[in-house]
Amino acid sequence: MTKRTRKASRRRSLRSVLFSKINGLLRMRRFWFGLTSSAAVGHQVSGCTVGTGWYDAMLAKVGGTVAAPLLASGLASLTPLADGLTHYVLHDLLGLPTSTAGSGSSSIGGAASSTATQFSQCRQHFPAGKPPVVPGAADLRELCYSSFAVLHSGSHKTPVFVAERLNRASILQAKGRQRTDKFFADARLPRAERAELADYQGSGYSRGHMAPAGNMATAEAMAQSFSLANMVPQNQTQNAGPWSQIEQDTRSYAQRAQGDVYVFTGPVFSGPARTIGPGKVQVPSHLFKLVYDASTGKSWAHWQANAAGTRVSAPISYDELVRRSGIRFLPGT
């Protein structure tokens, strides 16, 4: 067999394996959405088609490294994924790089004392379309989802904050929507920077939503809310008790408000570091939730210890939250 013949044979073999894996992923995706999505979403998924041009491009250099643009093109052919599941499995099966995967992820670098976040693809989640200014760090990444945005820390493997826009219509639409409980690791984050399902198993901590599942107004948003990029290790008693009450109170306020209510939620790390799992996901000492009513200009923040004995206490001011967190959440502050 000539060298050219061997190369062609190898190319055909790799193409066959690749098509088999992708077809399997699509079948999995259709099945999962059939269980958790509305009829409209199910129709959209079952009707999607995958072109073959990007396969040929990926295979043009057999045994070579798949470039990020080719990966992005391939994922675009699959259409945006509501739950991130196919995206996650695709990278794991094929061993593709994740640091640039997906157009909804970007890194924020620099050693400056503060950094203005961009979130160019999902500014609708922020007051006046202006994301917060945060203390500078080299391992922060912006993740856009359909109903919330996450600034993620690769060193903590948790969010820095999660931003949402709520209003009466979205709260009413979210009422009664069934939880999917399909947790997944977001493959747009590099492996070294993200939490995995194994990190929480047997840890004694809840996978605590920062953007609550109860706020999600669509099947797509509900599925996306179970990304581990939206989670922190949370004390189970605090999560189910006072924190749940704060989430319910926030929804009740947004339903009564005259317009949009913006909510920022996140962890705080102080004192001796505690971690869970083989990936050493850091456990926060406290959690915060900032509520800002854009119609009235009023704001307040909840500040809670991540501990079993925590009770719902009086809110703190916005200025006090900025002082404690170092983050300027609202424009012009």
Average pLDDT over residues 29-45: 38
d(CA 208, CA 162): 12
Instruction: Report, in this order, helix, strand and coil percent for the chain, each rounded to 5.
Output: 40, 20, 40
Closest CA to 142 of 107, 192, 112, 109: 107
Give dist(CA 200, CA 276) in Å, integer: 7
Query: How far does Cα 140 stand from its chain's mean position?
Result: 13
Query: Pick the catalytic residue: 87, 91, 125, 209?
Result: 209
Determine the average pLDDT of the residues in 210-231.
98
Residue 27, pLDDT above cutoff 80: no
Q: What is the pLDDT of residue 96?
A: 36
pLDDT of residue 114: 85
Rounded percentage of the chain residues whose pLDDT exceeds 90: 63
What are the structure tokens assigned to 94, written together?
């094929």
H or E element in which residue 170 lies: helix 168-174
Q: Is the pLDDT of residue 33 over 70?
A: no
Question: What would the mean pLDDT of 49-65 be, rounded to a whole number?
Answer: 34
Strands, DSSP E only, in the chain? 105-108, 114-116, 133-135, 140-144, 148-153, 158-166, 205-209, 231-235, 261-268, 275-276, 281-282, 286-293, 299-305
Q: What is the pLDDT of residue 3?
A: 55
3-state DSSP assignment of residue 140: strand
pLDDT for res 106: 60
> Which has the minimum average pLDDT: 49-63, 103-117, 258-272?
49-63
pLDDT at 136 (0 to 100):
82
Quick one: tokens of 195? 């939490």
**Reported confidence tier of residue 137, pLDDT bands at 50, 70, 90:** confident
Confidence of residue 110 (pLDDT cuts 50, 70, 90): very low
Task: State the Cα–Cα distance between residues 275 and 278, nearest whole angstrom.
Answer: 9
Instruction: Please write down the long-range contacts of 38-41, taking CB distance under 8 Å and 24 or more positions apart.
Output: 38/219, 41/82, 41/219, 41/220
Q: What is the mean pLDDT of residues 158-178?
A: 97
DSSP 309: T
Lowest mean pLDDT among 52-66, 166-180, 206-220, 252-266: 52-66
Q: Each residue of 250-294: pLDDT tens digit?
A: 999 999 999 999 999 999 999 999 999 999 999 999 999 999 999
Residue 19: which pLDDT band, with cuts at 50, 70 and 90?
low
Position 83 confidence tier, pLDDT thresholds 50, 70, 90: very low
- Structure confidence at residue 24 (pLDDT): 55
Q: Which has more confidence, 11 or 40?
A: 11
Predicted pLDDT of residue 138: 80
pLDDT at 186 over 70: yes
Does residue 91 have a pLDDT over 50? Answer: no
The pair of three-digit structure tokens given for residue 71, joined into one six-digit string: 């990966």
Instruction: Copy the structure tokens of residue 209.
Output: 């939503």
Structural domains of the chain, ranges and CATH numbers in brackets: 3-94 (no CATH), 105-325 (3.40.570.10)
Confirm whether 91 is a catalytic residue: no
**For residue 122, pLDDT beyond 50:** yes
- Looking at every residue in the chain, the average pLDDT score rounds to 78
DSSP string for 179-232: P----B--TTS-GGGS--HHHHTTSSEEEEESS-GGG--SHHHHHHTTBGGGEE
